[in-house]
Structure 1
Amino acid sequence: MSITLVSCPPEHADCLARSLVDARVAACVSVLPRLRSVYRWQNAVEHADEALLVIKHPSAAFEAVRSAVLQAHPYELPEIVAVSVDKVHPPYLDWILASCS
């Protein structure tokens, strides 16, 4: 199992989350609606109000998640960061796998 983090404009978060679950590449997407990002872009320090998507999916589905995010995300360079999960409650893992098959 993996968790992929994706930040996006708040107005795009629900649609992006729904599209990942509808496509069965993610079992669940938690939307954290309010965060402020400070970052360097094109040699300037920028800031943006964003939502954070916490995407739960089988590790093998990362490329499908990445592709779906790139297709729907409004940013030129979206944040797509996957973290492998070593330990997970076995029934929850079973649900993740079943939800994405």
Structure 2
Amino acid sequence: MLLQYLRDLFGNMPEQVSALLLSGAAGAYVRAVFAPEASWRRRILEGLAGAFSAVFLGGLVGHVLQDITGGGTWAYLAAGFIMGEGGIAAVRGFRKFLFKGDPK
């Protein structure tokens, strides 16, 4: 039942959003494996931050990659993975750029 619900959910999403979610989760997983936190709670929060970064910033980066390479869904998969793995650093850099300093 849950599996069918997830299939229906992904089937009704635009292809790019599904690619961003999937690749963002994979990137967040890679980050958790290579830079493990002692706290599971912190790992989960970093994974969620990576997934949100993949959806929101990954769409922008995916669009740029699509225009440069013409890679279609592959551009969005690459952008989602990059944002999922490095989303926290990307958001921090973007905030620093916008606010001319990193407000904490």
TM-score by length of 1: 0.31
Q: Which has the higher contact order (CA 8 A, sep 6+)?
A: 1
**Higher fraction of strand:** 1
**Higher fraction of helix:** 2
Largest Rg, 1 or 2: 2
